[in-house]
Amino acid sequence: TRTIAVSGSASGIGKALTELLRARGDEVIGIDLVEAEVVADLSTEEGRAGAVEGVLERSGGTLDGVVACAGLSGPLTLAVKVNYFGAVALLEGLRPALARAERPRAAAVGSISGTQPVDEIVLRSCLNGDERAAVEAADEAVDKGRGRTLYPSSKAALAQWLRRSAVSPAWAGEGIALNAIAPGVVLTPMSAPLFADERMRKVMDEAVPMPLNGYADAVVIAEALAWLVSPANSHMAGQVIYVDGGAEAVLRGSEV
């Protein structure tokens, strides 16, 4: 049995992944604000430390996989705290436990939004590991009506951190495969409010064109994440794979 920690396990993609892995016989240690083996708030330093500690306790100190799925959208500073700092702290905090496993794998969840315009100060502060500066810049962006850059900034920063880290001695050097899935629009409680409003839906369809099969069910993203953390994935490192109905190819088609 492989033991895999999944954040955001109570809803949407994380929940679908948890169910899929359990059905395949893996042991999953879920991390979420509610209804999880490890209840923790990944927006705070204490919460992140508690999450790492809780997972280490339950796993006995060795982990075969970690998937950082918890996140939120919206023009909020909180998105930067959870989507970037929460995800990185969880992956870094559990890295030593992964290094003890025989075929360790880790994955994060990016977004097609990571290809959209970002707040450069927020992005740079994230990559510098300076949460205070990132939060300050994010608050300012919200004040100035540029809050919608924060979700893309958090996901772009996560993708850059991942590409940089995955090939370092700490990850690849320890035999840990680290990659991400970047979804387009997925039918989850997070995206549900967008579908309630005809105008919002139109804006979204234009921002995220999905020529292949349209919006995805959460299980589609879960299947891809499950492969990333499976033993079969022995040689992929630092990749952000778009499972987005072709949106990235449409939006960035000319950049190869």
Q: Binders of ligand NAD among 107-126, rule CB under 6 A?
A: 109, 111
Is the CB of residue 45 less than 8 Å from the CB of residue 88? no
Among 38, 66, 69, 156, binds ligand NAD (CB under 6 A): 69
Q: Closest residue to ligand NAD, Cβ-based?
A: 12
Least separation, in Å, of the C-beta of 181 and ligand NAD? Answer: 9
Least separation, in Å, of the C-beta of 55 and ligand NAD? Answer: 13
Among 189, 193, 211, 214, binds ligand NAD (CB under 6 A): 189
Cβ neighbours for 240, distance < 8 A, ≥ 6 positions apart = 110, 114, 159, 162, 163, 179, 180, 181, 182
Alpha-carbon span 21 to 132, nearest angstrom: 36
Q: How far is CA 125 from CA 33, 70, 137, 245, in A?
A: 26, 21, 9, 31
Residue with tokens 């990659």: 179
Is the CB of residue 129 less than 8 Å from the CB of residue 99? no
Of 80, 64, 63, nearest to 72 by C-alpha is: 80
Among 33, 133, 142, 250, binds ligand NAD (CB under 6 A): 33
Q: How far is CA 48 from CA 26, 61, 62, 174, 250, in A?
A: 24, 16, 18, 23, 37
Give the x/- contact pattern for ligand NAD in 76-105, rule: CB under 6 A: ------xx----------------------
Q: Binders of ligand NAD among 38-67, rule CB under 6 A?
A: 41-43
- Helices and strands (DSSP H and E) totals, the chain: 11, 9
* Pairing between β-strand 105-109 and β-strand 65-68 as defined by DSSP bridges: parallel
Is residue 10 near ligand NAD by the rule CB under 6 A?
Answer: yes
Among 183, 209, 238, 245, binds ligand NAD (CB under 6 A): 183
Residue 228 half-sphere exposure toward CB, CA atoms < 13 A: 28
Least separation, in Å, of the C-beta of 9 and ligand NAD? Answer: 7
Q: Tell me whether residue 215 is one of the annotated catalytic residues.
A: no
Counting residues that bind ligand NAD (by CB under 6 A) gives 27
* Closest to ligand NAD by CB, 101 or 244: 244
What positions carry a catalytic annotation?
151
Residues that bind ligand NAD (CB under 6 A): 8, 10-14, 32-33, 41-43, 69-73, 82-83, 109, 111, 183, 185-186, 188-191
